[in-house]
Structure 1
Amino acid sequence: MRAVAKRIPVVVQRNSRGRRAAVRGLWTSAEVVVTLGVVLLLLVAHQLWWTNRQARAGAAHTVQALQRDWSDPAPAPSGTPDSPAVSAGDTGGAGDTGNTGDGKDGPGGAAPATDAPRRSQAYAVIRIPRIGLTAPVAQGISRSGVLDKGYVGHYPGTAQPGGAGNFALAAHRNTHGEPFRYINRLRRGDRVTVETRDTVYTYTVDKTLPQTGAGDGGVVAAVPRSNVKPYVGYRAAGSYVTLTTCTPEFTSRYRLVVWGKLTDVRGR
């Protein structure tokens, strides 16, 4: 009989070390993606929730401080810790400037201020019943000193409340208290009141410009009229209020403008 040769089986071992390295690489990549996602979520929550909460609380405290100060027959000297007149930051020198047109929330073109409150000083309270807004008005439109605090900023060089000309204001539409979030809902006939130490001024909404360029300084001129859309605005002198903010929401590409006329003046 012929002998049958036995075959010796050959065992091929896979590269287990390479496989473990690949698994570790995939796991590390997954951890990095999850971590980045959590960080991004925290940043979004900070911008959309925390900045609003913090700014609204600070703005409400400032409104209360102003009202206490106004009711005090001997108000605290400006600049003391209990006074709402404490200032910080700039007036349009950086960030949301009104003079160069590169501001965050309002178009530019305002001239230098004269006989105005100190920079970043909160000195009035604006109320807009239609959108449930009560907020302090501060001098200037800088981000750090005014807008990021949830305040409504007054364009330097424009009229003061009740004065002849244009009392022009700017505020955030999103984040940092977003006081002007819903001014797009204002309609002709809605009231905008501005309260100072001695007087309450009532403006009545008259016109809206849904969108214009960030550099459209005509909307904050003494006789407000758009330079981009010259058929929108006014031709006669008067006492006006202008509200400006960013549009569309969560962008700063264009500006939304609401105008009103002074219709009532009363003592406090």
Structure 2
Amino acid sequence: MRVVVQGGGRRGRRAGLAGVLWAGAELAVTVGVVVLLLVVHQVWWTNRQALAAAREEVRELERDWALPPPPDRPDSGDSGDSGDSGDSGDSGGSGPAVVPEASASLSAGPSVPARGTAPRASAAPPVRESAYGVLRIPRLGVVVPVAQGVDKRAVLDKGYAGHYPGTAQPGAQGNFALAGHRNTHGEPFRYINRLRAGDELIVDVRGQRYTYVVGRTLAQTSERDTGVIAPVPRSTVRPEYGYDEPGAYITLTTCTPEYTSTYRLVVWGTLKG
């Protein structure tokens, strides 16, 4: 005799649907955990890594600046210089020295050379993507290396402030323009929106300190607003913001709003005289 069981197919379909839903839920949880870990890595871990590396770079620079300068090597074609001919010497590997050598670490407060008060002549730019200076923002407690170039991977992601190629060197006539991350990778410029007129921006290079004073800010402009880093900085998007007279300027740029790269936030200062 044949026994007919009714409803078994429906229960089987329900069980199959429940299994699919369960698998989907597990997949969603797994994806969520992976995304969360990526966010933690990007926002927290990269900050720790870049901040620690940037601080160590500042210490390395200051240790290097505390050393006596290497002896100059005469040019091969200069026979009239009475330099020490017995010097087996360095090849001048420090390359484009920006300013005279320091006799003590710039971290030592009173031993720092006097502040630059007059714009100096432009010097040869430092080696590309190498740190050669330190930017200090006392109001924010920021101490960050300054490197040549604004390449994301080679400079900014290391937690450095990047010096825009083609803009002036520290203390020189023109515009010493810098970029830095606002979020992640050390985020040195995260709070530059808190800077106010009169705040100091201090730039240390080998043997010299230049102090700039914040004068103006531009809360938001286009990423293509190259006028903000011109020798006489003035926004091409919002021309009511900027300067009219030649001088020695500093410009800080970063992304805004936070956690986006839609616009740029700009802070300008002038060399303290």
Same fold (TM over 0.5): yes
- Out of 135, 150, 154, the residue aligned to residue 159 of structure 2 is 150
- Out of 255, 269, 272, the residue aligned to residue 260 of structure 1 is 269
Any gaps of 5 or more consecutive residues in structure 1?
1-8, 86-112
Whether the 8 Å CA contact 2:58–2:145 is kept in 1: the answer is yes
CA offsets 1:61-114 (integer angstroms, 9 cap, x no match): 100000000001156x7999xx9x9xxxxxxxxxxxxxxxxxxxxxxxxxxx98
Whether the 8 Å CA contact 1:120–1:145 is kept in 2: the answer is yes
Alignment of 1:1-268 (within 5 A): 12-15=6-9, 16-74=11-69, 115-264=124-273
- Give how far 1:11 is off: 5.2
Tell me the residue number matched to 2:116: none
**Distance (whole Å) between structure 1 residues aligned to residue 91 and residue 14 of structure 2:** 71
**Distance (whole Å) between structure 1 residues aligned to residue 198 and residue 51 of structure 2:** 27
- Alignment root-mean-square deviation, CA: 2.2
**Distance (whole Å) between structure 2 residues aligned to residue 26 and residue 229 of structure 1:** 54
**Distance (whole Å) between structure 2 residues aligned to residue 79 and residue 130 of structure 1:** 37
Q: Give the SS at the match of 2:139.
A: helix
**Distance (whole Å) between structure 2 residues aligned to residue 153 and residue 192 of structure 1:** 15
TM-score by length of 1: 0.79
Gap change, CA 1:21 and 1:192, over 3 Å in 2: same
**Distance (whole Å) between structure 2 residues aligned to residue 194 and residue 131 of structure 1:** 15
- Give how far 1:253 is off: 1.1
**Distance (whole Å) between structure 1 residues aligned to residue 249 and residue 167 of structure 2:** 10
- Give how far 1:21 is off: 1.9
Q: Give the SS at the match of 1:157.
A: coil
- Give how far 1:247 is off: 0.8
Gap change, CA 1:199 and 1:114, over 3 Å in 2: closer
Whether the 8 Å CA contact 1:149–1:176 is kept in 2: the answer is yes
User: What one-letter code is carried by the residue in structure 1 that aligns with 2:23?
Assistant: T
Structure 1 stretches of 4+ with a deviation exceeding 3 A read 77-80
Whether the 8 Å CA contact 1:114–1:157 is kept in 2: the answer is no
User: What one-letter code is carried by the residue in structure 2 that aligns with 1:52?
Assistant: N
Query: Percentage identity across aligned positions?
Result: 60
**Distance (whole Å) between structure 2 residues aligned to residue 65 and residue 155 of structure 1:** 23
Which is higher, the Rg of structure 1 or of structure 2?
A: 1
Gap change, CA 1:43 and 1:222, over 3 Å in 2: same
**Distance (whole Å) between structure 2 residues aligned to residue 146 and residue 13 of structure 1:** 68
Gap change, CA 1:237 and 1:20, over 3 Å in 2: same
Tell me the residue number matched to 2:81: none
**Distance (whole Å) between structure 2 residues aligned to residue 53 and residue 78 of structure 1:** 37
User: What one-letter code is carried by the residue in structure 2 that aligns with 1:14?
Assistant: G
**Distance (whole Å) between structure 1 residues aligned to residue 256 and residue 137 of structure 2:** 19
User: What one-letter code is carried by the residue in structure 2 that aligns with 1:31?
Assistant: E
- Give how far 1:217 is off: 0.8
**Distance (whole Å) between structure 1 residues aligned to residue 170 and residue 23 of structure 2:** 60
Whether the 8 Å CA contact 2:123–2:169 is kept in 1: the answer is no
Q: Give the SS at the match of 1:131.
A: coil
**Distance (whole Å) between structure 2 residues aligned to residue 115 and residue 215 of structure 1:** 27
**Distance (whole Å) between structure 1 residues aligned to residue 161 and residue 231 of structure 2:** 19
